[in-house]
A and B are shown apart, each in its own frame.
Chain A
Amino acid sequence: MTTETQNPIEPCLAAHEKFADTADGPGWLSDLRRTGITHFTELGFPTLKQEEWIFTNVRPIQEHSFLPATKPTSSIPAVDDLFFSELSGSRLVFVDGHLSHALSKFADVPEGAIVTNLASALETHPELVEKHLARYAKTDESGYSALNTAFIQDGAFIYLPKGKVIDEPIQLLYVSTDGDSNTATLRNLVVAEPTSSCKVIESYQSAGEHAFFTNAVTEIRVDESANVEHCKFQDQNEESFHIATIQAQLAKACNFTSHSISTGSRIARNNINLVMNGEGIECTLNGLYIVGGKQVVDHHTLADHAMPHCNSHEHYHGVLGDRSRGVFNGKIFVREDAQKTDAKQSSRAIVLTDGATVNAKPQLEIFADDVKCTHGATVGQLNSEAVFYCRSRGIDEASARRLLTHAFAGEIIERISIEPVRERLEELLWDRLEELIEQ
C-alpha cells in the first residue's frame, strides 16, 4: 500500500482544524482543545514500544478512518432493549457521542445539584465547568487522552453541592449506531462536594453492527467525606474499539468505589487512576472481564497513595476463551511520607482455551516504610480440588466447571451495591459465560 507513508495522525489534525473553527464554547475551552491537539501532535498514537502499551497493539484502530464526529447524528436507536433501561432515576442517553434529549429522562434532584450534559452545562454553569474540567486528568498521558481533550464537546456533567445526596443511581448510557458517524469522543465530569453522595453508572453499548470507536475520559472529584460509587459497563459490539480513562481525585476521608465490567469490543482499554490527596481515604477497585473470540481487554489501574492513612483494595477477575487476550497492569504507588498505607491488589484470571493469553503486571512502588502492601496475581484454571469436590457430590464435570466459573465471576458482581444493576449483570454474565464454555 502506498498510503503507508502517511502519518496516521494527519487525518486527525486536519479534522481538528475544521472542528476548531466551528466548535462552540468560550475562549478557555478553545485554548484547552488547542493544548490537547498540541500534545497529540507530540505524542501520536501509542506503540508497542511504550511501556504502558507493550501488550496492546492499537494498530487495528488506526486502520479504520475514525474521525471525531462534530455533529449529532440523526438516528434514534431503540434503547429500551438495552441493559439497565428499566432503572428509575435520571438517564442521560448519548447517541454517537451527543446527548439525545428525546431518549433521556431527567429525574428530580436535590436543590443545587446538577445532572446534565457538558454542552448544556457550558451554557448554564460555565464557571463551574471551567473550574473543574481537565483539572484532574492529564492531557498528555497518552495520545488518546490528548485527542479526547482536543475534541471535547459533550459528555455528562454531574455536580453535587455540599451535603446533597442523590439516592437513585444516575445512568449514563452511551449508544453507538450505524449512523453517519463512527466515533464518539466523550468527556464526563463528576464533582461531589464535601459529604455529598451519588452513584453513577456508565454503560457503553451498541445499537449497530459496524465498527465504532469510543474515546472517553471521565474525571471524578470526590471532596472531603463524600461518597461516590462508579460503575462502568462496556458491552459494545465485537467490531468496536473502546479506549477509556477514569481519573479520580480523592480528598480527605472520602469513599470511592469503582467497578469496571468489560465484555465487549474488539480492543478495550480501561485506565483507572486514583490520586489520594488526603488522609483516611477508602477506595475499592473491582473489575471483571469476560471475553472470547479475538477480543483484547486491557485494564491499567493506578492507586497513587500521596498521603498517609489511606486504604485501597483492588480485585480483578477475568475469564478468557477462544483466542482472546487479557491484560492487567495494576500499579500501586506509595509516596514518601504516606505512612500507614494499606494497599491490596489481587488479579486472577481463568484461561478456558489454549489460544487465549494473559499478560499481567502487578506493580508496586513504595517509598515509605510503615506500610502494608500486598499484591497477588494468578493465572490458571479452576481449582482441581474444587472440581473434585463437586464431582464427589454427584455433579458431573462439565456442570462443576460451569458452576465454579460462574462463582468466580460472581465474586466481583456481588460487590456492586446497586441491586438492579447487580441482577441484570448476573443474568448477562451467565449467558456470556455459557457461550464461552460451550465453545
Chain B
Amino acid sequence: MPGVFVLQETPEQSDFMSEALETIEEFVQSDYKYGFVSDIETETVPPGLNEDVVRLISEKKGEPEFLLEWRLKAFRHWQKMTEPKWPNVEYPEVNFQDIIYYAAPKKKKELASLDEVDPELRATFDKLGISLDEQKRLTGVAVDAVVDSVSVATTFRKELEKQGIIFCSFSEAVKDHPDLIQKHLGSVVPITDNFYAALNSAVFSDGSFCYIPKGVRCPMELSTYFRINAANTGQFERTLIVAEEGSYVSYLEGCTAPMRDENQLHAAVVEIVAMENAEVKYSTVQNWYPGDKNGKGGIYNFVTKRGICKGANSKISWTQVETGSAITWKYPSCILQGDNSIGEFYSVALTNNFQQADTGTKMVHIGKNTRSTIISKGISAGRGQNSYRGQVSIKKNAKNARNFSQCDSLLIGDRCGAHTFPYIDVQNTTGQVEHEASTSKVGEDQIFYLNQRGLETQDAVNMIVNGFCKEVFRELPMEFAVEAQKLLGVSLEGSVG
C-alpha cells in the first residue's frame, strides 16, 4: 500500500500551494489536440431507429440472411429493455431517435490499393499520426482504420495472409468468412447481454475481425484506429478476435473524435475467444473528445468488452488507458472457463474537468486453477469523477482459483472524486481473493523532494503520476506505452496536488 505523508502547512508551503493551484488551473485548460473535423463526404441514413433502419444498414452492407435475422432479433430485444441507471455517472437522457445510425465516408468504387483512399482521409490519419502507408514498415503495426463506423483501410493484409491470419474489416469478414462469423459472433456477448450491447448488435456498421489459426504467433501488433468524424452520428463498431489453439496475438485499439458541442454516443462491443493455450493481449488507448472545460460536448463511451478463455491454459489480458470521453462506462471482462486459464486487467483512467468514468472489470472463475490479476489506477482532477467497479466471482467448481486486485486512486485538486465499488463473490473454499485499495494525493513532500533535486514542479508531478501508473504502462506494447505516457503528460500539464 503506498504510504501517504501529510506535512504540517508552513508559510512557504502555502506559497507553494498557491502555485499549485495556478498550475491546476493550467491543467484544467489544456486543450484537446485531436478536435479537428475533416471535410469528407459522408453517406448517412436519416436519424432515428426502427426495423427499417436495421434492414437498411444490413442491405447497404450486403449481408447474408443470418446476420439480418440476428440484428432484428437484437433490435426486438433492445426495444423491450430500459437504459441501465446503476452506473455512478450522470448525464441527460439520450434520445435514441436523434442519432444517425449509419455514416460512411462516401466511396466511389471498390478500392484496389491504398493509393486510392480519399486523400482527405489519408491526411486525417496523418494528422492523427497513424500511417496507412504500407511502405513505412518500420512501425511494424498492421492497422485497420475505422471512420464513423466504417472500416476504410487495412494495412499489411497480404503479409498476414501468408501465415493464415485473417485481419480485415468486419464487413469483409462477413462476406469472405461467414462461417467463422456465424460461429463466434455473439458467443461471448449475447444480444441479450445489456442495453447497449443489444443496441450495438442491431445497428453495428463495421469493425475489425481477427482470426489467428492454430499454432500461429502473430508476427506484428494488430491495431484498429477508430475515428468519429460526422456530426450527430453514433459509432457502433464490433470487434471479434478468435485465437485458435496455441496462437498468440497482441491487439491495439486507439480512438479520437472532433470537438463538437453536442454529445455523441459510442457503443462498441468487443468479443475475444481464446482456445487452448492461446493468448490474446488487448490494449486500448482511448482518447475520444472529452468535452470542453465546462463539460459541454464530448463522447459517451458505453462499451461492452468481454473475452472468454475457452480452452485450458489460455490467457486474456486487457490493458486500457482511458483519458478521453465525457463519460466512460466499460468493464473489459474475462470468463475463465478453461482450467489453468489466466485473466488480467490493467487500467489507467484519468478524469479531468467534468469527465466521468465508471470502469473496471469482471473476472468470472469457472475452471480449476484459474488466476486473475486486476490493477486499476484512477486519477481524478478538476471536477472529474472516477469510479472503479469490479466483480470477482469464484464459482463452485473453480478449485484453487486465485485473484489479486489492487485499485489505487490519485486525487488532484479538492473538487474531484474517487469511488471504488468492488464486488467479491466466493463460492469455493479453495478460492483466494484479495482486494486492496487506497486513495492518496500527490504528496507535497514528494514534490518537495523532487524540487530540491532540481526538477520543476510540473516535471515532478508528471514523474509521480507516471510512477503511479507504471504497473499498467509496462503492460502496454512499446508504441502505445509511449503514446500513453505522452497523453498523460499533456493532460497533466502543470498539475500538482
Enumerate chain A interface residues (CB-CB to B < 8 A). 51, 336-337, 339-340, 349, 351-354, 356-381
Contact, CB under 8 Å: B418 / A381: no
Contact, CB under 8 Å: A376 / B437: yes
Contacting residues, chain B, for A354 (C-beta < 8 A): 396, 427-429
Q: How far is the CB of B283 from chain A (nearest CB, A)?
A: 27
Contacting residues, chain B, for A377 (C-beta < 8 A): 422, 424, 433-435
Contact, CB under 8 Å: A370 / B441: yes
Contacting residues, chain B, for A370 (C-beta < 8 A): 6, 414, 441
**Chain B CB within 10 A, most for which of A349, A376, A378, A379:** A379
Contact, CB under 8 Å: A358 / B426: yes
A374 to B439: give the CA distance in the assembly, Å. 7
Q: How far is the CB of A404 from chain B (nearest CB, A)?
A: 15
Contacting residues, chain A, for B414 (C-beta < 8 A): 336-337, 339, 368-370
Contacting residues, chain A, for B424 (C-beta < 8 A): 358-361, 377, 379
Contacting residues, chain B, for A375 (C-beta < 8 A): 420, 435-437
Q: How far is the CB of B322 from chain A (nearest CB, A)?
A: 19
Nearest neighbor of B441 in chain A, beta-carbon distance: A369
Contact, CB under 8 Å: B435 / A364: no
Q: How far is the CB of A400 from chain B (nearest CB, A)?
A: 17
How many interface contacts (CB-CB < 8 Å) are there between A and B? 120
Contact, CB under 8 Å: A378 / B434: yes
Q: Is B307 an interface residue (CB 8 A)?
A: no
A357 to B431: give the CA distance in the assembly, Å. 11
Which of B430, B435, B497 sits near A378, CB closer than 8 Å? Answer: B435
Contacting residues, chain B, for A365 (C-beta < 8 A): 417-420
Q: Is B352 an interface residue (CB 8 A)?
A: no
A352 to B1: give the CA distance in the assembly, Å. 29
Contacting residues, chain B, for A374 (C-beta < 8 A): 1, 436-439
22 cross-chain CB contacts under 8 A? A353-B429, A354-B428, A357-B425, A361-B422, A362-B422, A364-B419, A365-B417, A366-B409, A367-B417, A369-B411, A370-B6, A370-B441, A371-B440, A372-B4, A374-B439, A375-B435, A376-B436, A376-B437, A378-B432, A379-B424, A379-B433, A381-B429
Contacting residues, chain B, for A363 (C-beta < 8 A): 419-422
Q: How far is the CB of A313 from chain B (nearest CB, A)?
A: 15
Complex interface residues of chain B between 40 and 98 (CB less than 8 A to chain A): 86
A381 to B420: give the CA distance in the assembly, Å. 25
Nearest neighbor of B386 in chain A, beta-carbon distance: A366
A370 to B428: give the CA distance in the assembly, Å. 39
Which of B6, B417, B420, B431 sits near A379, CB closer than 8 Å? Answer: B431
Nearest neighbor of A351 in chain B, beta-carbon distance: B429
A379 to B432: give the CA distance in the assembly, Å. 6
Which of A336, A351, A376 sits near B426, CB closer than 8 Å? Answer: A351
A370 to B421: give the CA distance in the assembly, Å. 21
Contact, CB under 8 Å: A364 / B426: no
Contact, CB under 8 Å: B411 / A356: no
Contact, CB under 8 Å: B415 / A366: no
Contacting residues, chain A, for B4 (C-beta < 8 A): 372
**Chain B CB within 10 A, most for which of A337, A340, A349, A374:** A374
A361 to B420: give the CA distance in the assembly, Å. 9
Which of A337, A353, A358, A373 sits near B438, CB closer than 8 Å? Answer: A373
Contact, CB under 8 Å: B415 / A336: yes
Contacting residues, chain B, for A353 (C-beta < 8 A): 429
A376 to B422: give the CA distance in the assembly, Å. 10
Complex interface residues of chain B between 422 and 464 (CB less than 8 A to chain A): 422-441
A336 to B434: give the CA distance in the assembly, Å. 29
Also in contact, A51 and B86, with CB within 8 A (given A359-B425, A374-B438)? yes
Q: How far is the CB of B374 from chain A (nearest CB, A)?
A: 13
Contact, CB under 8 Å: B6 / A381: no
Nearest neighbor of A358 in chain B, beta-carbon distance: B426
Contacting residues, chain A, for B427 (C-beta < 8 A): 354, 356-357
Which of B415, B432, B435, B441 sits near A381, CB closer than 8 Å? Answer: B432
